[in-house]
Structure 1
Amino acid sequence: MTPRGATLGFLQLLLWYLPSATRGGNILVYPVDGSHWLNMNILLKELHRGGHAISVVRSSSSWYIAEEAPHYTSITVPVAAASNFEDPEYMASFLERSLEIWTRQRSVGSFVALQKELISLLDEAHRASAEMARLVLENRELVGRLRASNFDVMLTDPGFAGGVVVGKYLGLPMVFNVRWITNGEGHFAIAPSPLSYVPTLGSLVSDKMSFGNKLKNILHYGISLYIDHVTVRPIYRSLCEDFIDPAANIYSLIQGADLWLMRVDFVFEFPRPTMPNVVYIGGFQCRPSNPLTSELEAFVQSSGDHGVVIMSLGTLLGSLLPEMSEMVAAAFARLPQKVVWRHLGPKPSALGNNTLIVDWLPQNDLLGHPKTRAFVTHGGTNGIYEAIYHGVPVLGLPLIFDQFDNMVRLEARGVAKVLDVTQLDVDTFTDALRELLDEEKLYKVNMMKMSRLHHDQPLKPMDRAVFWTEFVMRHKGASHLCTESYKMPWYSYHSVDVMLVMLSVVVFLLLVFYMCCKVLFRLVTGKGKLKQN
């Protein structure tokens, strides 16, 4: 290549990567608050760096979605009260009630009580989501502004489906940042999901199921259908009837999305059937670690060869019940390792000199530190992928929602130990940590292998997320990737109508054959009688 050609090539690459007004699009974002917002916000920052203008619809009661930010313009919707999913205090009380129910007695009654608590929580959250969407759509001035903005795409999270209705009403191509939908895992809405080897949310089984596990899987699938048909669809029904179509339901609107940015990597998730409009971006929020503050770095370095254990229970759940926190503190005090523990609430009296309690910690930077030996976590998706990214084995203390299923997947890979928080004592917790830290047990080796597989991709997950979002913007949708199966009635989807017709034909032919045989038999027996006579 000539120097002039090399210069031109370099300039072309530079122009491609530099944000420009001609390449920049206009994106409307309708997020879900809480931990879902944390990873959505990371994607928005990357899209903004690519030159796109971003508008974020938020409620006036939002705890996490800031009204002012350098990378987006907010559209604040006045609401009367915060959704329970937006309120850390409500979530803490929900956790406390759930733990109390499960601690009292392990029985069918306790299981039913826990399901009632969960359905009640979902009911309130979906009602808040539907009400906010109605406030948006009934505000004619706001709707006029949204239409005049000429958005290229709607980016939303279908965990709570208010944004799905708003996007459909505005006629925008729809991109989901998704793992969970209104009643369970996202794949179940659009891809074949055989219950013989695809675990459902809450089943706590792997893809290698015994007969009993299959029964359990089917039970939890039935619970998800109940939540969909009895709880979720009725909440959004009037919204769909008033603004979309009297025949529409929220589940079919979700199924009609152009593109699913699925927060899944099959290094972590069990293999399963999928569809062409599903793009896998598991771990897209992960990044190399940054240096720690001088104080935190000094504490970490003081651990010597023993290293550091990190503990965090995520965004919404800052601490365990006081008696559980005392037990955890006593177990940490037995370790030769130093411990950095994000803990909110009263300081445990059993706290050892090796443990540093903080209100907030740079989780990704600590997980990426060479002295970090283990990660104690509730099992939230964001933290799990950061642990995989940096190759840190996990001690799981799942508490609510998908955290139990997440830990089943890590345990199946041999990279995690999982404990039941309602059955914990100091010895159990200490023994589990020592086993996890024991190099002969291969937890670290297995996690490093998992990390190498996660990193060995032709494109980074974030690059896939940005490319496919821009793809939908460029082509005004991605209908060529979307199946029409969700528009089919259930009997047609499962070919019940075809099988009934084929069965009818077979039965008819058998009847004809039977009648013919009967006539022939009579003719033959009749002639025999005539000869005898």
Structure 2
Amino acid sequence: MFLCSNMFSVTLWIPIIILFGSLCDGGKILVVPLEGSHWVNMDIIIKALHDQGHNVDVIRSSSSWFIKENSSYYNSITIPNTKGMNEEFVLDVLNKMIDYERGKSFWLSAVWLFWDMVSVIYETHEMICQLITNIFESEEILKTLKENQYDLVLTDPGWGAGIFLAHKLKLPMVYNVRWTSTGEGHFEIAPSPLSYIPITGSRNTDRMNFFQRVQNSMYYLLMYFQNGYFNLAQYQALCDKYFYPPVRFNELLQGADIWLMRVDFVFEFPRPTMPNIIYIGGFQCKPAKALPHDLEVFMQSSGEHGAIIMSLGSFISVLPDEVTAEIVTAFAQLPQKVIWRYTGKRPSALGNNTLLVDWMPQNDLLGHPKTKVFIAHGGTNGVQEALYHGVPVVGIPLFFDQYDNLLRLQNRGGAKILSITTLDQSTLHAAIQNVISDPSYRLNMQKLSHLHRDTPVKPLDSALFWIEFVMRHKGAAHLRSESYKLPWYSYYSVDVAVTCFTVVLIFTLSIFLTVKYLCVKCCSRKRKNEQR
């Protein structure tokens, strides 16, 4: 009886403790985000942190494209006189990529395209270095940041600004990460054998033949050459200028307490990992809500044929006219209704079955029972939402990691990839019809969806727990390997191998010389005896 009474009391107090604990233990978090789709998923975590009672400050450039200065759930700290990515910047990159892929330029364009992409990435990091410089050169901004007494820095390591601020302010650091300034995040912290872990851009899976492994190794060397000489050098120059004692940027990059990785192993190929990598793939996904009335009417009007959703992500809402014309012509031949997020001029060949919108509730449309196919560029957020809702994908990758993301779905039977090189009305129409008519695509995606959802803790709840864990314990050093502090020759045991080889060599030579000496001695004695 006494035990039951105590259990009842504990049960009664648990929700009260949780409620008042979350109100009283609110921390102060400094967020240093990226633009575009990276901001879209960071924004979700910021809202959740605010709902938990935490105060959040967000660093933004004065020309930020996505990050608004005024918000009801975060305070912004705007860094003056700083440039950022804008729509013209992204469209210029997109047009160059499409021109190359569709063969409008001569064969040397492949080389020029590579250097163009290197220049674009270099210019982006240059903007971030200027933002860091403006912060560090401003006594007023630094004073404000120090007086705010933050508990933690939450950042996306695709850019280096948050890493610099965490080191400068001596704060624990948590990453919301898929990419770092050098490449896919795992390569910075976890063992990554190139024999079965594909490099982004190689277009390989985790099953590679000999020639694919050679290609994978070449991509690895190219990736580290590009980033070491063009990107990391900029950040290291700032480390040398602003930090004493001297510190390597790579050491700062690899020293985060927790890596909230925006994938899981339903989507990603299996690979070695580390204890401070927490997988939160699909944390931005949620059950579909009711659609706005006009969209619901349009979806219901599709009847038994259903609807197709098309979106090319946060950055891309318009395509070259000739590509758009091919797409709308293919759509006009379909019995399905189509909703396309497109902000360009209205194409003349647009069919009555196609609705162009400036914005769409993508998650809710993907979760609608009438949705048959998702036509996507292959951004991480979009493919994760398609996976969550079990919707098969027709992928049109354009640049960066998009092909590799779609390849992971195609390898599991849930997507079909179309190259922008061969995209026309016939290839697009055939791909859509194939994915809709072949039930294996939907069945495979639904299987992946069930696997993804079958977890003891929701990904967003896991992310919040580990952020608050780092705040409570002032870091998570016990989960962080010290391997990143080792020089490369120690990490790969080159020094040990050289020492062992030297010992064996000396031992072998000693035996050889000893035997040689004894043989010479014996021969010498034999000659003397014969001479006698």
Compute the TM-score of the two structures, normalised by the length of structure 1: 0.96
The correspondence for 2:468, drawn from 470, 476, 482, is: 470
Aligned to 1:293: 292
Aligned to 1:192: 191
Q: Is the 8 A contact 1:130 1:239 kept in 2?
A: yes
Alignment of 1:97-496 (within 5 A): 97-104=96-103, 109-245=108-244, 247-440=246-439, 442-496=440-494
Partners in 2 of 1:511 and 1:3 — Cα distance?
Answer: 81
Alpha-carbon spacing, 1:253–1:497, altered in 2? closer, same or farther (3 Å):
same
Partners in 2 of 1:383 and 1:472 — Cα distance?
Answer: 29
Aligned to 1:55: 57
State the 1:13 CA deviation: 2.4
Partners in 2 of 1:62 and 1:320 — Cα distance?
Answer: 23
Q: What letter corresponds to residue 494 of structure 1 in structure 2? A: Y
Deviations 1:259-285 (A, max 9, x none): 111111111111111111111111001
Partners in 2 of 1:192 and 1:26 — Cα distance?
Answer: 34
State the 1:104 CA deviation: 2.1
Q: What letter corresponds to residue 354 of structure 1 in structure 2? A: N
Partners in 2 of 1:523 and 1:235 — Cα distance?
Answer: 65
Partners in 1 of 2:187 and 2:6 — Cα distance?
Answer: 54
State the 1:5 CA deviation: 4.0
State the 1:439 CA deviation: 3.6
Aligned to 1:12: 14
State the 1:206 CA deviation: 0.5
State the 1:227 CA deviation: 2.1
Alpha-carbon spacing, 1:204–1:338, altered in 2? closer, same or farther (3 Å):
same
Q: What letter corresponds to residue 271 of structure 2 in structure 1? A: R
Q: What letter corresponds to residue 118 of structure 1 in structure 2? A: M
State the 1:3 CA deviation: 6.4
Q: Is the 8 A contact 1:151 1:172 kept in 2?
A: yes
Does residue 42 of the first structure (1) align with residue 44 of the second (2)?
yes
State the 1:246 CA deviation: 6.5
Deviations 1:288-316 (A, max 9, x none): 11100111101100111111100001111
Partners in 1 of 2:230 and 2:54 — Cα distance?
Answer: 37
Q: Is the 8 A contact 1:379 1:397 kept in 2?
A: yes
State the 1:237 CA deviation: 2.6
State the 1:331 CA deviation: 0.6
Q: Is the 8 A contact 2:23 2:52 kept in 1?
A: no
Partners in 2 of 1:206 and 1:384 — Cα distance?
Answer: 17
Aligned to 1:78: 80
Instruction: Could you tell me which runs of 5 or more consecutive residues in structure 1 were left unpaired when the two chains were aligned.
Output: none
Deviations 1:351-404 (A, max 9, x none): 111111111111000000011010000001111110011000000000111101
SS in 2 for 1:422: coil
Does residue 519 of the first structure (1) align with residue 517 of the second (2)?
yes
Aligned to 1:93: 92
Q: Is the 8 A contact 1:314 1:378 kept in 2?
A: yes
Q: Which moved more, 1:340-349 or 1:17-26?
A: 17-26
Compute the TM-score of the two structures, normalised by the length of structure 2: 0.96
SS in 1 for 2:449: helix
SS in 2 for 1:160: coil
The correspondence for 1:24, drawn from 21, 26, 30, is: 26
Deviations 1:177-202 (A, max 9, x none): 00000021011111111111111121
Q: Is the 8 A contact 2:30 2:150 kept in 1?
A: yes
Partners in 1 of 2:124 and 2:206 — Cα distance?
Answer: 31
Give aligned-pair identity as a percent: 47
State the 1:408 CA deviation: 1.2
Alpha-carbon spacing, 1:386–1:473, altered in 2? closer, same or farther (3 Å):
same
State the 1:486 CA deviation: 1.4
Aligned to 2:68: 66
Q: What letter corresponds to residue 448 of structure 2 in structure 1? A: M
Q: Is the 8 A contact 2:311 2:317 kept in 1?
A: yes
Partners in 2 of 1:104 and 1:141 — Cα distance?
Answer: 52
Q: What letter corresponds to residue 308 of structure 2 in structure 1? A: V
State the 1:257 CA deviation: 1.1
Aligned CA-pair RMSD:
1.6
Instruction: Could you tell me which runs of 5 or more consecutive residues in structure 2 were left unpaired when the two chains were aligned.
Output: none
Partners in 1 of 2:499 and 2:170 — Cα distance?
Answer: 39
Q: What letter corresponds to residue 479 of structure 2 in structure 1? A: L
Partners in 2 of 1:17 and 1:265 — Cα distance?
Answer: 30
Alpha-carbon spacing, 1:361–1:220, altered in 2? closer, same or farther (3 Å):
same
